[in-house]
Structure 1
């Protein structure tokens, strides 16, 4: 394996989501969740993807890390977060529409064709819709091998990586020829905190402004949200005085 820049360019998908610490509220008309005056941040799984790409560059395996985001104008803040973590530049495909994973994957595929990366790393899912679809769709559109839910990425040559992924029965290790698509799971790494000097440097890094039309992607969605509801309120529990009483209660409720 080459000692310097073996993988070339690495693209990383990043997404703007409601901050994980915010209690999500459903709109009164049940058309969606409230986003006005609500704190947003970089999707946690995307942070893991950015961290992995930056580590690759620090290890001399990548020559450039590019953060790519499809979202509203304010999503530039989240691209800057990725730049502060160590990404070299950003690409912002601006749209105010709610974008389904299918269309996001179509756009990212066109970006990949233009940028010609050795690897495209994404978070395995976004915490707002939990779709877990974009990475798989992207790999399909590009015809690239993919390793989803990766807990470890290990280079084995200039043209291949081993990806360890978590499955129901344990762990599975795949060998992927490059270029490839990888989606990051929680155990892949622990993202760094951006230091103040890096935050300041990120303000001077380049973000290319694009639109879906620049890539010839029709943003019409085949999905329609009919109604959004709060989860049902949990019923209050009851106290029992003994194990025998607990067993009788469970039997009476048909639970055992």
Structure 2
């Protein structure tokens, strides 16, 4: 066999392997989860997010009462960045940030659904030189309001501890740290330290569990409570 023919066969096998991986990780495995969870998707899941394929995602563990402007302002004052939208350009940029260890403080976060909708807002606070490790939170504006009539936002806060492959689908994703209560408390402490909160209160969340799993198959544990902060009103 000639060297040229050998290289061509290797290229064909590599291409076939990559194609099979993409089909399995991004189409077949998510469809399996959609089929497996179909019986549950007719029920109303409260205080938990879902992936676009219907896989249960990160729990709702934080909330804020305030206008959109006040939410964005509070995180800016606390030193958090607003996450970019997911596009081909930002997907390439976050990949470069992780691979080459350079900053991308407003890197995009993946879409999660709550009450059938993707997040309205997302914020992050990097840890280290790249987008590999970061505190991050997604928020959804609900139809409810606080005692003062301002909107109630519910959110899911977790810590991205690194990039890897989803345990359930094999797709490339961030893996979260298991202690989501610590991340909830970190976020609220940051906002309080920045002087943006009037008060906080607990509300019932997903419920206590020591064996939760998110949409990437990452384990988590929680006391099951969500903490809701009331933001200071802007002039």
TM-score range, shorter chain: under 0.3
Greater C-alpha Rg: 1
Structure that is richer in strand per residue: 2
TM-score by length of 1: 0.24
